[in-house]
Amino acid sequence: MKTKQYSVKVFEIVLEDEEKFISFFDKNYLFFQNHLISIIGERSDRVANYLQEKALKYVFNVDIPKKSTPTQAVIPQTQEKKEIVETKPIQKHLQVLDKLIRSGQELTIDGDLLLLNRVNSGGSIIINGTLIITQVVDGSIRCNGNFMMLQASNKANIVFHDVEIDNSFLQDKLNRVELINNEIVITPVLKEKSWV
């Protein structure tokens, strides 16, 4: 007998309204290409066909084992449970966080963020502002700011202005990713990474 054990990223969503469900995945399906989508609710052919067209992996009404530590936050649109991560405002729009983003944690920021720690596989950051991460990213990043600076592993899922970034361009060095004339430009940061 041969066996294998896998760590799988699971995104759980409660399906109450097909239109909102499809609209949500139209905007975000790139972010979930490497996830198993666990859908709680009535299965419909329309939703199943839509997910197959987008090449997303999914299951309906499956009780997925969860860690025994409780989660606290509920995201209203999807009712997905995530652990709350507190941030400390330093300036009006800049937040600095010196905390590891663990698997299962989701951080949503409306301004700019300087993260002084890493993002583990299964952790995610969704940000509308500028993002700088000083440690390696193994998790998911969705950034719509002016630019982001990070170093990503081959496990990471990086989306900048709704375009998935090839991780091979972000490995082994700190990189600046920005949108210039409707083109995503990735520039290696040549200085040694030393943060005061």
Mean pLDDT value across the chain = 80
pLDDT (tens digit per residue) in 115-166: 999 999 999 999 999 999 999 999 999 999 999 999 988 889 999 988 888 8
* Distance, CA of 39 to CA of 65 (rounded, Å): 14
Q: Report the DSSP beta bridge partners of residue 164.
A: 159
The first and second tokens of residue 72, run together, are: 């606290």
Q: Which has the closest alpha carbon to 75: 151, 22, 126?
A: 126
pTM above 0.85, yes or no: no
Q: Given a cut of 90, is residue 169 above it in pLDDT?
A: no
* CB-count burial class (<10 Å; 0-12, 13-18, 19+) for 98: exposed
Please report the pLDDT score of residue 157 as a whole number: 92
Mean pLDDT, rounded, for 8-18: 83
Mean pLDDT calculated for residue range 166-192: 82
How far is 47 from 59, CA to CA, in rounded Å? 11
CB neighbourhood size of 11 (10 A): 18
66-96 residue pLDDT tens: 654 433 333 344 444 445 445 444 444 788 9
What pLDDT, on a 0 to 100 scale, did the predictor assign at position 37? 86
